[in-house]
Amino acid sequence: MSATTTEPLSYLDNTGDDPTVRARLVVGDNDFHAVTNKVCGIVESPQPRLWWVAFAISSSLTLVLLAMIAYLVTTGIGVWGLMIPVGWGYAIVNFVFWVGIGHAGTLISAILFLLRQRWRTSINRFAEGMTIFAVVCAGVFPGIHVGRVWFAYWLAPIPNQMSMWPNFRSPLLWDVFAVGTYATVSLLFWYMGMIPDLAALRDRAKTKIRYYAYGLLALGWRSSNRHWHRFEFAYLLLAALATPLVLSVHSVVSFDFAVSIMPGWHTTIFPPYFVAGAIFSGFAMVVTLVIPVRRIYGLQEIITKRHLENMAKIMLATGTMVGFAYSTEFFIAWYSGNTYEAFTFMNRAFGPYAWAYWTMVTCNVLVPQVFWMKRFRTNTILLWIASVLINVGMWFERFVIVVSSLSRDYLPTSWGYYRPSIVDILTFVGSFGLFFTLFLLFVRFLPIVGMAEVKGVMPQAHLDRPGHRGHGDYHGDITGTEVLS
């Protein structure tokens, strides 16, 4: 629980691949109380100095973001590097980047839940939180990238004296709805799942403020049987509701490009390709965050190496899918015989933006391949480095798609080369500030591990089942309803 926990000893290693030995999802001799102490302790005990340093940095970056937005709104889009032909630059790239990252949480909590991947329990809360903050960051950009922000409300279908509707044929409008829905549902999902743990915090509260604050948030949770029943049923429903969204959001985002007629944008492969990429980047971001956190707050026994390894495997899978998408694009560009399309891809790989393209390929396709090797999956340092690289790569993927396609379209006379302005860059950096500020506050005030759910997969949860003691991810006769009631 303190920052001084040492690197996990061998007994903490639950990454064995021997199917006869059921790996434990929580290692060390932790009983329920120990888990509660560990998790609640993070919120209750004062934060390590490292937290304060991080918070100082990220919050000042947030101020930078606000300053840049103010400058933008008072001066004009021209403070960015945009021009004709490249009418979309960093803003949209960042938007897609953040939305993509926002995919891991809901995927883990919803899809893995429905798939009974019970190892999710240790990381889902954490991932969901990250999702919300990523979506917040994403939400910033479409808002500020329009030329006349003060009229952005015209995007919403509200009655007005002009008796004008928005244009429902425009993918940008679909975006508004898709991202809006996604944000709402993820938020609900996140909050729903937190209620029992908030109640736990409430019950352990030492100060009045905490008592009432957590009390209010806990919505009077008394952990009665009925409560648990309702809770788990609602959780199941939300999971079912969220699952299609995981796939729909980034599909819709990809329509922004796929529906246009720009070579390099107008591609049928975009929806699946974007979703795969989103999950890819999402997990990369989870890993990037979770490794330091578990280290600093001594959660190695709850967020175990097995969790990291599993995520590494998912990254390997999705990363390979993305790589496949890249190659398919090239093949189709050649196979379709569409010379514009063909040129766009040759230009990506060998034109002025080749540097961005090859950065993308290296980070997204080559780097994940190391996860074929267990060493890389289980060594936290290497894993962390790889996941950071993947984040970089995924940002460049969006950059390549948006910018390199626009910069050279149909008429050679209107070709151009896009250079970001300093404001572009600071806005981007600032969005990271916003993201980490929110994340640090989350760590500071909310339970970052779903205690109740973790307890559910601990050996102690199955004392009533002789013969299955200690088999955390037992898949036998524990049916959904059983789990839920």
Partner 1 sequence: MNEDKSNDIFIFPRWTGILRPAIAAGALGGALYATVIVAFGFSPWATDVGYAPVQPVPYSHALHVGQLGMDCRYCHNTVEHTAAAAIPPTQTCMNCHKSVRAASERLIPVFESYSTGMPVQWIRVHDLPDFVYFNHSAHVRRGVGCVSCHGRIDTMEVVTQVKPLSMSWCLDCHRNPERHLRPVEFITELDWVPDDDQLVLGRRLRETKNINPPQDCNTCHR
Partner 2 sequence: MSSMNHHNGMAYWRSLDELEQTAEFREAVGREFPNDDWDRLPPATRRQFLKVMGASLALAGLTACRWPKEEIVPFAHRPEGRTPGVPQRFATSMEIDGVALGMLVTSFDGRPIKAEGNPLHPDSLGALSAVAQAEILQLYDPDRSRRLLLREGGQQYVKDWNEFESLAGGLFSGAGAAVLAGAFSSPTLGALRERFLTAHPEARWYEYEPISRDNEREGTRLVFGSMVRIHPHLGGAEVVACFDADPLFDHPAALRLVREFAAARNPESGTGGRLYVGESGFSLTGVRADHRVAVASSRVPALLAAVANSLVAEHGLELPAAAAGFAGATDHSATDDERHFVDLLAADLMTHRSRSVVLVGPRQAPAVHALAAVLNHALGATGSTITYTADPSPDRPSHLEAISDLARRIQDDEIETLLILGGNPAYDAPADLDFADLLAGVPVSIHLSLYDDETSKLCTWHLPASHSLESWGDGAAWDGTLSLRQPLIEPLYGGRSAIEVLAIAADDGPKSGYELVRESLSGRSGIPISGDFWRRALRDGVVGQSAWETVAPPTDPAGLASAVDGLRELLEVGRPTTEHPELVLVPDAKVFDGRFANNGWLQELPDAITKITWDNALLISPATARDIGVSDSEVASVEARGATLDLPVCVVPGMARNCAAVALGYGRAAAGQVGNGVGVDTYRFRTTAAPGILSGVAIRGTGRSYELATTQDHFAIDTIGFSERNLRVADLVRETSLDAYLENPEIIHEQEHHPPLISLWKDHEYEGEQWGMAIDLNACIGCNACIVACQAENNIPVVGRQQVLNQREMQWIRLDRYFKTAPGVTPDEVDDAEIVFQPMTCVQCENAPCEQVCPVAATQHTTDGLNAMVYNRCIGTRYCSNNCPYKVRRFNFFNYHKDLADTTKMQFNPDVTVRSRGVMEKCTFCVQRIEAVRIAARNDNRPIADGEIMPACAQTCPAEAITFGNLNDRSSDVSRSREEHRSYAALAELNIRPRTHYLARVNNPVDGMPSSVEGAGDHGKESG
Note the residues at the interface with partner 1 (CB under 8 A).
159-164, 203, 220, 222
CA atoms within 13 A on the CB side of 3: 10
Residue 245 CB, nearest distance to partner 2 (Å)? 21
The dihedral through the CA atoms of 415, 419, 423, 427 has a sign that is positive
Indicate whether 234 belongs to the interface with partner 2 (CB under 8 A): no
Taking CB within 5 to 8 Å according to partner kind, which of partner 1, partner 2, none is near residue 461? none
Residue 222 CB, nearest distance to partner 1 (Å)? 4
Kindly report the CA angle at 383 between 250 and 302, in degrees rounded to 5? 90
Q: Could you give the angle at which helices 354-361 and 339-350 cross, rounded to 10 degrees?
A: 80
Taking CB within 5 to 8 Å according to partner kind, which of partner 1, partner 2, none is near residue 2? none
Indicate whether 22 belongs to the interface with partner 2 (CB under 8 A): no
What Cα–Cα distance (Å) separates residue 218 from each residue in 44, 70, 122, 214, 454?
Answer: 17, 37, 20, 6, 19
- Which range, of 122-130, 186-194, 257-265, 273-281, touches partner 2 by CB under 8 A? 257-265
Q: Which 412-471 residues touch partner 2, going by CB under 8 A?
A: 412-416
Residue 427 CB, nearest distance to partner 2 (Å)? 16
- Helix H segments across 76-149? 90-101, 103-106, 112-114, 124-144
Question: Residues 56-85: x/- map of binding to partner 2 (CB under 8 A)?
Answer: ---------------x-xxxxxxx-xxxxx
Indicate whether 160 belongs to the interface with partner 2 (CB under 8 A): no
Indicate whether 181 belongs to the interface with partner 2 (CB under 8 A): no
Q: What is the rounded distance in angstroms from the CA atom of residue 394 to the CA atom of residue 282?
A: 10
CA atoms within 13 A on the CB side of 203: 12
Residue 416 CB, nearest distance to partner 2 (Å)? 5
Q: What is the rounded distance in angstroms from the CA atom of residue 243 to the CA atom of residue 214?
A: 29
Residue that the structure tokens 């434990």 belong to: 24
Considering the complex, state which of residue 212 and residue 335 has its C-beta at the smaller distance from partner 1: 212
Residue 190 CB, nearest distance to partner 1 (Å)? 21
Q: Are 418 and 407 in contact (CB under 8 A)?
A: yes
Q: What is the rounded distance in angstroms from the CA atom of residue 438 to the CA atom of residue 72?
A: 23
Q: Which 326-355 residues touch partner 2, going by CB under 8 A?
A: 336-341, 343, 346-347, 350-352
**Residues in contact with partner 2 by the rule CB under 8 A:** 71, 73-79, 81-85, 87-88, 145-152, 154-155, 162, 164-167, 169-173, 176, 256, 259-263, 266, 336-341, 343, 346-347, 350-352, 406, 408-416
